[in-house]
Structure 1
Amino acid sequence: MPQVDAEQIVHSIAEETNTPEETVARIYADALDNYRADARILDYLPLFAARKVRATLRQNSANPH
């Protein structure tokens, strides 16, 4: 599997969700760390983390405080 560029993923999610890259990067890093803690296979973790970040940001935008 090709190496995933976290910076590119963060930038893409930031553009899609109109969220600052710093915020996306922090959420992405946290999600990736959480998945790595229990993972035996690491190949798809960036994909899962990106999906989690998008879902989190969508949920937060749908439920403003």
Structure 2
Amino acid sequence: MAAHHVDEFIVQSIASDTDIPLETVSRMYAETWAEYSEGARITDYLPVLVARRVRDNLRRRKHDPH
């Protein structure tokens, strides 16, 4: 995935807010982006949807150590 400026800002923001390493957040963002964008015709809202999914996954991971 070629990271856009907005994507980099979102990844940095999530990493800062969640105290998760930037590399981990970046990888999760890229994986989620690939999942969401596959077959998508309209991608205008993908950054918002992907960021929300990554944040939710990280929150769940913090609360469920298994």
Count of residue pairs the alignment pairs up: 63
Regions of 4+ moved over 4 Å? none
Preserved CA contact (<8 Å) 1:10 1:25? yes
Cα distance in 2 for residues equivalent to 1:45 and 1:4: 14
Alignment correspondent of 1:41: 42
Query: Which residue identity does 1:59 align to in structure 2?
Result: R
Listed as ranges, the matches of 1:1-65 within 5 Å are 5-65=6-66
Shift of 1:39: 1.4
Unaligned runs of 5+ in 1: none
Gaps of 5+ in 2: none
- For the aligned residue pairs, the C-alpha RMSD in angstroms reads 1.3
CA distance in 2, matches of 1:56, 1:37: 20
1:14-35 CA-partner distances (Å, limit 9, x unpaired): 0110000000000000011101
* Identity across matched positions, percent: 48
Normalising by structure 1, report the TM-score. 0.90
